[in-house]
């Protein structure tokens, strides 16, 4: 399990392109037959991918956790980005279609990822520390509805689909969902924002050969990352997180911190960006 420690805003402004990418961008999460996990000091969030092939894969129990099993003091949200697959929690089998979400609460010891019979499942997960147990729950993509927001004229017409949140699957602190765009819209989260009470991780997916220009850093000292399919960006509380694609894409957003209020944001007006 790779550890990520983050520099201050001032130090971030001195990083080279390579150093910036090594610090804030995660590649290679989805490797056949493996679970890949990254432990961050962003509210102790862990993010990773599991791509089971012929044998089930278990959540890791690495020494970085300081516990005897992964969910001993944690909760986790899992989103299937691939073909239908299975996650087993204890003795219970959970079938996950494409873009279905599974939440698993504190204390579940045996969690296994399994491939389906119709293609390659690809499970993306984000975990946060937990202080109380909430029940395992599934949210089906087919059952999630939301009204589009944004404007066609500003190329940011999009739908935000919330899975783990105050009015959906209950958790201790994890909030998770994904955003998808209408044809011709390519901007996400613009104008941008920060939220000093929470940190956030984006995973961009379904880009194909397109790229996303992801903007980060302090509003008055922005930096950028070139992001490709199934790469994740780590966003400290002081950093904006916004992007524009060269074509269609989706992205998973996941947050952890002091509250679960989706609208708890500190706006960074476009006129103030530098």
Task: Grade residue 258 by pLDDT with cuts at 50, 70 and 90.
Answer: confident
**CB 12 within 8 Å of CB 223:** yes
pLDDT tens for 3-55 read 999 999 999 999 999 999 999 999 999 999 999 999 999 999 999 999 999 99
Query: How far is 232 from 38, CA to CA, in rounded Å?
Result: 11
Quick check: 257 pLDDT over 90?
no
Kind of pairing between the strands at 111-115 and 46-51 = unpaired
Kind of pairing between the strands at 193-194 and 221-227 = unpaired
**Looking up tokens 């279905």, which residue turns up?**
100
The whole-number pLDDT of residue 263 equals 81
Q: Would you list the DSSP string of 177-245? A: EEEEE-TT--EES-S-EE-TTEEEEEEEES-TT--EEEEEEETTEEEEEEE-TTEEEEE-TTS--EEEE
Quick check: 128 pLDDT over 90?
yes
Of 260, 62, 53, the closest CA to residue 168 belongs to 260
Contacts of 27 (CB under 8 A, 6+ apart): 228, 231
Of 143, 159, 144, the closest CA to residue 250 belongs to 159
Instruction: Assign 3-state DSSP to the chain and report helix, strand, coil percentages, each to 5.
Output: 10, 45, 45
pLDDT tens for 70-95 read 999 999 999 999 999 999 999 899 99
Of 31, 34, 37, 40, the closest CA to residue 5 belongs to 40
Terminal Cα distance for the chain, rounded: 35
Say yes or no: do domains 2-10+25-140 and 142-272 share a fold.
Answer: yes
Question: pTM of the predicted model, to two decimals?
Answer: 0.96
Task: Grade residue 268 by pLDDT with cuts at 50, 70 and 90.
Answer: very high
For the 142-272 domain, the top CATH level (class) is: mainly beta
Q: What tokens does 83 get?
A: 């073909």
The whole-number pLDDT of residue 47 equals 98
The SS3 assignment for 252 reads strand
Quick check: 261 pLDDT over 90?
no
The SS3 assignment for 153 reads helix
**CB 260 within 8 Å of CB 165:** yes
Domain ranges of the chain: 2-10+25-140, 142-272
- pLDDT average, residue stretch 270-274: 95
The yes or no reply on domain 2-10+25-140 and CATH 2.60.120.10 is yes
The upper half-sphere exposure of residue 260, i.e. CA atoms within 13 Å in the direction of its Cβ, equals 17
What secondary structure letter does DSSP report for 65?
A: G
pLDDT tens for 203-228 read 999 999 999 999 999 999 999 999 99
Q: Would you list the DSSP string of 124-144? A: EEEEEE-SS----EEE-GGG-
Kind of pairing between the strands at 34-40 and 2-4 = parallel
pLDDT tens for 160-209 read 999 999 999 999 999 999 999 999 999 999 999 999 899 999 999 999 99
Quick check: 254 pLDDT over 90?
yes
Q: What tokens does 23 get?
A: 């610090």
The whole-number pLDDT of residue 152 equals 94
Of 183, 151, 181, 147, the closest CA to residue 162 belongs to 147
Q: What tokens does 243 get?
A: 């992007």
Of 90, 86, 92, the closest CA to residue 121 belongs to 86
């Amino acid at each position: 399990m790779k550890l990520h420690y983050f520099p201050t805003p001032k130090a971030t402004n001195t990083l080279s392109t390579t150093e910036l990418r090594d610090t804030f961008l995660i590649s290679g999460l989805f490797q056949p037959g493996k679970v890949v996990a990254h432990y961050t000091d962003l509210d102790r969030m862990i993010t990773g991918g599991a791509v089971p092939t012929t044998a089930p894969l278990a959540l890791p129990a690495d020494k970085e956790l300081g516990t005897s099993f992964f969910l001993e003091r944690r909760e986790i949200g899992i989103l299937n980005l691939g073909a239908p697959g299975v996650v087993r929690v204890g003795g219970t089998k959970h079938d996950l279609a494409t873009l279905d979400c599974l939440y698993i609460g504190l204390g579940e010891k045996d969690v296994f990822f399994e491939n389906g019979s119709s293609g390659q499942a690809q499970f993306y997960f984000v975990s946060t520390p937990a202080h109380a147990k909430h029940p395992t729950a599934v949210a089906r993509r087919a059952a999630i509805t939301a009204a589009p927001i944004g404007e066609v004229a500003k190329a940011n017409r999009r739908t935000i689909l919330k899975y783990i949140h105050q009015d959906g699957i209950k958790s201790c602190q994890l909030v998770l969902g994904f955003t998808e765009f209408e044809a011709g819209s390519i901007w996400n989260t613009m104008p941008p924002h920060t939220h000093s009470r929470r940190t956030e991780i984006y995973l961009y997916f379904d880009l194909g050969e397109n790229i996303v220009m992801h903007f980060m850093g302090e509003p008055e000292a922005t930096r950028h990352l070139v992001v490709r399919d199934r790469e994740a960006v780590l966003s400290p509380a002081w950093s904006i997180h916004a992007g524009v694609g060269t074509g269609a894409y989706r992205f998973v957003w996941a947050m952890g911190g002091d509250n679960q209020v989706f609208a708890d944001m500190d706006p960074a007006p476009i006129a103030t960006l530098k």
